[in-house]
Amino acid sequence: MSSHFNNPRLNSVELRKLIPIFVSEITEDLNAFEAAFNSADYKFSLEVLHKIKGSALSFGITALEEKAKELLGLIRLEKLQHAFKELISLKLLIRELSEESKKIA
Amino acid sequence: MIDSKTKILLIDDSEAINEMNSYFFRQNIENVEILTAKNGKEALAIIENPDSEKLPDLVLLDLKMPVFNGIEFLEYLNSIEFSYKDKLNVILLTTSMNPDDKKRIGEFPFVSNYLIKPLSMKQVKIIISTNL
């Protein structure tokens, strides 16, 4: 079964043990991003997205990295309605990652 | 092979990334102590700890962190005098390096390199061979 976590960055048992920490962090980061975005604190929302992007890169989760990059671009260009739609997409992706992580032994 | 205990300080606001990078170094160095900090403030507490037997041989520093980010951390270290200063070796690890940040980093003599995330096992081997 295909999984975001079956990628070359997570090629050892030790590294795969870090997945719950990663998922927990990005879930917290998502909450922080959503709160900042909804309160129009775009500067902080960009900082949080940047963090999510860095974590996604390190753990080889390309879909999350791309989504974070997309949102970074939209907010910088002040395309906020579009960014709001992509926020929903980001939430779904992180939920998917959370569900996948529970299936990993 | 490195015989004496090597001490490395990893500074990143992501615990997951710190743990990953810690794993890479532990896989390549016997007898290593890895310390981690989530921001510049925690890192300073480690560096300035008077009870510490040995200061870090190498510091890996994320640039963008809350509560005393990478630049602020470097500025503070640059502004104070301490005996360890000439031995301080900092490598920046960041997702991007905008030209303004790159210019600022060049002002700090103890920053030996900057690397773009994510860190790989191969890069860690190179870091070890050239810095430790």
Confidence (pLDDT) at B90 = 95
With a cut of 80, say whether residue A12 has pLDDT above it: yes
Closest residue by Cα to residue B21 from A54, A72, A50: A54
**Inside any domain, residue B1:** no
Give the other-Cβ count within 10 Å of A100's Cβ: 18
How much is the average pLDDT of B88-109?
87
Among A71-75, A83-87, B71-75, B96-100, which stretch is predicted with the lowest mean pLDDT?
B96-100
**Cα(A16)–Cα(A20) distance, integer angstroms:** 9
Cβ contact, residue pair A58, B66, below 8 Å: no
The answer to whether residue A25 neighbours chain B at the CB level (below 8 Å) is: yes
**Inside any domain, residue B77:** yes
Sequence ranges of the domains in chain A: 13-98
For residue B111, give its domain range: 6-131
Residue with tokens 């929903």: A88
With the C-alpha atoms ordered A80, A85, A89, A95, is the resulting torsion angle positive or negative? positive
CATH number of A13-98: 1.20.120.160
Token pair belonging to B89: 């070796």
Percent of chain B with pLDDT over 70: 95
Confidence (pLDDT) at A91 = 98
How much is the average pLDDT of A56-70?
97
Cβ contact, residue pair B20, A55, below 8 Å: no
**Inside any domain, residue B51:** yes
Confidence (pLDDT) at B68 = 84
pLDDT in tens, B12-40: 999 999 999 999 999 999 999 999 999 99
Q: Work out the widest C-alpha separation in chain A, in whole angstroms.
A: 42
Closest residue by Cα to residue B61 from B72, B52, B50, B51: B72
Picking from A14, A55, A60, the nearest residue to B16 by CB comes out as A55
The total of structural domains in chain B comes to 1
Dihedral pair phi/psi, residue B32, rounded to 5°? -120, 145
Has the ipTM of the complex gone over 0.85? Answer: yes
- Angle at which helix A19-38 crosses helix A42-58, to 10 degrees, equals 160
pLDDT in tens, B76-93: 998 988 777 788 899 999
Confidence (pLDDT) at B92 = 93
Residues 24-43 (B) with a CB less than 8 A from some CB of A: none
pLDDT in tens, B48-63: 877 777 789 999 999 8
Instruction: Answer with the residue of higher pLDDT: B67 or A99.
Output: A99
Q: What is the CATH number of the domain that holds B64?
A: 3.40.50.2300
Q: Residue B46, exposed/middle/buried by CB under 10 A (0-12, 13-18, 19+)?
A: middle
Cβ proximity of B58 and B32 under 8 Å: no
